[in-house]
Amino acid sequence: MRAVKLALLAAALSGAGFAVPVAQAPRVWTPDELFRRNVGTREDQDTAFPPHKIIGNLYYVGTRSLGSFLITTPQGHILINSDYERNVPTVRASIEQLGFKYADLKIVLGSHAHADHMEGDALVKQLTGATVMAMAEDVPALEKMMPGGKPHPIDKVLHDGDEVKLGGMTLLARLTPGHTRGCTTWTFKVPDGGKSHDVLIIGSVGVNPGMKLVDNPDAPKIVEEFNRSFVTLRSLHPDVPLGSHPGMYGMAEKYAKLGKGPNPYIDPAGYKAELDIVEGVFRSQLAQQQKQP
């Protein structure tokens, strides 16, 4: 009876000239759209974004489309993502523009074994002597990453749940595979304004154009790996969600709001929205590929 009454009410409102709102399905992005949003153009990859404080002792030192993060401590600093080797001077200039010494880098971490995030590791180590750490599952891919013939340094192999500590900071390495076998999401706490904030830097759960999800000989369990990663990421509830590409967390829009109210990087709702986008791409592509002969 209630359903009948609601239907009659909707019909009456419609007849009276009132628009009855209709729930719309969320937009499903394509891999091409997601890739362009994240990676951008060559100019985006190479142009420094204004280095700035995100929150507490966490700073952005990357380019317009390649995320690099600096965590400062009294005992030296941690760099997450060296980016392409050609980006190393740009990242260095951003660190120094903030007033920190590049030589004080002690640890270099990465999001995943793609050149746009970790190709510069060897040069950073050469310039600073920093310890380079990487997730075990990404080691084979990193060993093939040899810009200018330089061997990729891996001073410490990490595993899911390992902690990286320096100067009172503790970072937790969370294995979130799929995008690469050893894709790593970093979680840690940052003090700011008398409060402690949970920070998360997503390694990536994006499905790149052409990524094979069905019968992939190089990653036969890739679907299981993606599913595991979504379960892991949805179990986490960061205050400050970030990502290996600024487009994953709307950096440009948030940067424009800095100093004009509450810190825009504190955005729990944005984290869930991003997971919905990337999981939507994954589910859509998986369904399409499963239909193909």
Q: What is the pLDDT of residues 107-146, one digit of tens each?
A: 999 999 999 999 999 999 999 999 999 999 999 999 999 9
pLDDT surpassing 70 at residue 16: no
What pLDDT does residue 2 have? 44
Listed in sequence order, the residues at least 6 apart from 161 whose beta carbon sits closer than 8 Å to its beta carbon are 172, 173, 174, 175
What pLDDT does residue 24 have? 58
The pairing of beta strand 58-60 with beta strand 69-73 = antiparallel
Residue that is written with structure tokens 């974004």 in the block? 49
Q: 267, 254 in Cβ contact below 8 A?
A: yes
Q: What is the pLDDT of residues 40-99, one digit of tens each?
A: 999 999 999 999 999 999 999 999 999 999 999 999 999 999 999 999 999 999 999 999
Q: What CATH architecture is 28-291?
A: 4-Layer Sandwich (3.60)
What pLDDT does residue 293 have? 72
Greatest alpha-carbon pair distance for the chain in Å reads: 75
Instruction: Output the CA–CA distances (angstroms, integers) from residue 71 to 76, 165, 179, 187, 205, in the order listed.
Output: 9, 11, 25, 12, 23
pLDDT surpassing 60 at residue 14: no
Q: What is the pLDDT of residues 196-230, one digit of tens each?
A: 999 999 999 999 999 999 999 999 999 999 999 99
Burial 179-191 (b: 16+ CB within 10 A, else e): bbbbbbbbbbebe
pTM score of the predicted model: 0.90
What pLDDT does residue 108 have? 98
Q: What is the pLDDT of residues 239-282, one digit of tens each?
A: 999 999 999 999 999 999 999 999 999 999 999 999 999 999 99
Question: Cβ of 163: how many Cβ atoms within 10 Å?
Answer: 10
pLDDT band with cut points at 50, 70 and 90 for residue 25:
low
pLDDT surpassing 90 at residue 101: yes
Beta bridge partners of 80: 69, 109
The one-letter code for the residue type at 185 is: T
Q: 238, 271 in Cβ contact below 8 A?
A: yes
d(CA 50, CA 64) in angstroms, rounded, equals: 9
What pLDDT does residue 119 have? 98
d(CA 126, CA 271) in angstroms, rounded, equals: 36
What pLDDT does residue 27 have? 78
Q: What is the pLDDT of residues 167-201, one digit of tens each?
A: 999 999 999 999 999 999 999 999 998 999 999 99
The one-letter code for the residue type at 155 is: D
Provide the mean pLDDT of the chain: 92
Q: What is the dihedral of CA 133, 137, 138, 139, to 10 degrees?
A: 70
